[in-house]
Amino acid sequence: MTTTNQNLKKLFVSDTFADMIKNKLMKKMEAHQASNPQKELYIMAWGDTTQPLAPKVVDALVDAATKLGDRSTYTGYGEFDGNIKLREAICNNYYKPR
């Protein structure tokens, strides 16, 4: 008969891994806001959308997903902090200094 590994209960005290990351991120954001109150902080880590994706974005997502389905173009997981080129493009083109 199969039994539950009791050590697994020790791994998940109260927060999930995602909750721990979110809490850590919130602390960093609060510290940043406290030391830079004049700057607006855009939180792009979670939330809900208010508009549909632009066709160009949909095309890029389909292209990226297609590349993951082919061994010759497969890249595996991306960077934990996200794609640097995408992050820079968003900052430079969408959130230009005002």
Residue 73 pLDDT exceeds 90: yes
Residues 73, 64 contacting (CB under 8 angstroms): no
Residues 15, 23 contacting (CB under 8 angstroms): yes
> Pick the residue with more confidence: 26 or 10?
26
Q: 45 is in which domain, residue-wise?
A: 8-93
Distance CA 18, CA 6 (A): 22
pLDDT-derived band at 68 (thresholds 50, 70, 90) equals very high
Per the structure, how many domains does the chain have? 1
> Pick the residue with more confidence: 48 or 64?
64
List for the chain the helix, strand, coil content (%; round to 5).
50, 0, 50
pLDDT in tens, 12-30: 666 677 787 888 888 998 9
The single-letter code of the amino acid at 63 is: D
- Residue 46, CB half-sphere, CA atoms under 13 Å: how many? 7
In a domain, 3, yes or no: no
In a domain, 74, yes or no: yes
